[in-house]
Every structure is written in structure tokens, then in C-alpha cells.
Amino acid sequence: MNSKPIYSEQELVALLQQRNEKAFGYLYDNYSGALYGIVKSIVTDTEIANDVLQNVFVNIWRKIELYDAQKGRLFTWMLNIARNAAIDEVRSKGFRDSQKNQSLSENINFEGAVTAPAIEDVGLKKVVTKLKGELRVLVDMSYFQGFTHEEISKALDIPLGTVKTRIRSALTQLRTMIQ
């Protein structure tokens, strides 16, 4: 990033809450690339990824009141909005393509989902590929595909408690990799 930080995070949030367009432009210039990175690691199709990114920023603009600084940094909040929006997009498409009116746990094709990834060599996704086999699959399914621990437990036939402890252990490894 070559643009100089002209706002502190606190100032930025305050201005955004007053619907300041200049501050919003600054937010876009400084964070769109990072958020696009997470969207692209979940959504393969560039056009759909563009739509998702557009919705993400419109939602940030509209829902900035919901941001609570006590619960985390602004970027973390935006990152979660972007991740959720991308997963929702992929999942709703999955629903459209596969059988309708069926329960999620029974009909999602986990095998295909794991072996048909989006971009592999960007950002967090690249770090995740360094995890060993099973841990990588678990993080991929939970973080990049949004499956709940229960769904993963059923799909991979691993006890729920084990799914949880392994994901936790994978995440602590991830932390040491990015620090």
C-alpha cells in the first residue's frame, strides 16, 4: 500500500458512521485489495467475485453502526463480512445447482467441494496449504467453505470433539505461520 494513513482507525469509524464519502473512499482504497483476496480465495468466478466485493462494501457502508470496536478491529469485522458473503454466494449457488428442498448435511458433495478449490496461491489460502493433509482439509472446509463442525463431523465421519480439537490445533499452527 503506498497511500499514507491519514486516519486512525477510530477516526475512520467515526467518519464512516457520519456517512462521510471521503472516508469511505479511503477505506476502499486501503482495504479493497485485501478483502478481494479473501473473496477470490472462496469464489472462483471473477465476475461473481466482483459482485460479492461490491455487495461487501455496500454492506459495510450501510451496517457500519453494527461495528463494535470492543469486539475487534475494523479489518476483522470487514474480513468476516467478506468471508460470509463469499460463502453465502457459493452455497446459494450450490443449492441452486443441486437438489432443492433437501437438508444441507445430506446433500452437499463434500468430496467435490474439497477437490475443486478456488485460487490456491493467495493470502491465507496459501498459508493453509502448508498445513498437513487432514488439518488442511478441516480448515478448508470450515473457514473457506463455511461448514459447521457438526457437518464436517458427519461428512468425514470423525467425532465432533475431534473435529473441534483438530481445527483448534490447525488454527494455532496458522497463527505461528503468519506471525
Residue 171 sits in the site that holds other proteins (CB under 8 A): yes
Q: How far apart are CA 174 and CA 25, in angstroms?
A: 32
Residue 85 sits in the site that holds other proteins (CB under 8 A): no
At its nearest, how many Å lie between other proteins and the CB of residue 171?
A: 4
Q: All 3 cell numbers of residue 176? A: 505461528
Residue with cell 472516508: 23
- Stretch binding other proteins (CB under 8 A), from 31-39, 90-98, 109-117, 128-136: 31-39
Residue 141 C-beta-side C-alpha neighbours within 13 Å: 28
- Stretch binding other proteins (CB under 8 A), from 68-76, 93-101, 109-117, 128-136: 68-76
Cβ(139)–Cβ(131) below 8 Å: yes
Cβ(129)–Cβ(174) below 8 Å: no
Q: All 3 cell numbers of residue 140? A: 478448508
Residues that bind other proteins (CB under 8 A): 1, 19, 21, 24-25, 28, 32-38, 40, 50, 53-54, 57-58, 61-62, 65-66, 70-73, 75-76, 79-80, 83-84, 103-105, 122-124, 126-127, 142-143, 149-150, 167-169, 171-172, 174-175, 178-179
